[in-house]
Structure 1
Amino acid sequence: MTEYVTKAELLTRMQDGYTAFTALLSSLSDEQLTTPGVNGKWSIKDNIAHLSTWEKSVITALDALHNYVEPGNPTAGMSEDEQNELYYQANKDRPLSEVRNEFATVSQEIQSAVERLSDDQINSPLPWSTSTNPIWPWIAGNTYEHYEEHAQIIEKWLATQQP
């Protein structure tokens, strides 16, 4: 059984994860942020855009939950790898400053979307989902756990770049 998490706990974890991830990013040069090959063909910038895109999908679902409507799913039927490639193609040519600004904005928006939910809502499944799992692990997986996953990828790559 999944643990019960309060909204306050979830928001703290989200903010702490964001703070740790952005601290890592702030230590890097623009060249490091835009060099391809971090994971596959992706640069760190591409990883940042990837995180924002997945957070936006969570925001859409949480807004729908808040408004008591079922959201559409433009990527229905696509595998996670197919979605990631679609998102990569859509973002790969965007300027670094735009991607970084969007990441900051989207991270604030997802915090706001979670703040609008009750403890009961975050510990319940999405009403339109066939899953019986609460939504908070899904939020975690697309915020602080996702930041940690990509921070590890970035740190591993950085270790190969050191002389």
Structure 2
Amino acid sequence: MIEYLYAQGHRKIGLIGGKPDQSRPSLSRLTGSQSAMFRLGLPFEMKKQYAYARFSLQSGYTAMEYLLKHCPDITAVFAMSDLMALGAIRALNDHGLRVPQDISVSGYDGIALGRYSTPRLTTIRQNSERLAQRGAEILLNCIENGSSAVHEVVPFELIEDESVAALPNH
């Protein structure tokens, strides 16, 4: 998602996610985002550009308010769940800002609600069926055969929708 936002001209990106020391998905998504920012030469200050949130609408709303206060020059936000992204969009609207005209917002999960929000949410859609299937297969193999846990990367899809704008002159 960071690479996509960069390709759209965004150079100051805020992140909304869980506490990386308490959530493996949050740690993985933060590490991946930081790595992409470093590779692209983008600035990133954890205390200013990363807002902690639980995976909920309300928490996404509160986290967006934190980013507006601590990093008012961001042009895009990557929320590490669609629910947090939708909460962030509500906060931006309540502060008189338009998505994506003033600030672009993107999410992660690909939940159905994102297709019905205004604007429709740009997101990373996980293959949840494949995740569930492989998780069950691996778990059963561990139980039945004493196999070790397995780390697999499941394919994902970038859904380019209405909540991210391309900046002029990029």
Task: Please give the TM-score of this superposition, normalised by the length of structure 1.
Answer: 0.26
Higher helix share: 1
**Which structure ranks higher in relative contact order (CA pairs < 8 Å, sequence separation ≥ 6)?**
1
Q: What is the TM-score of this pair, normalised by structure 2?
A: 0.25
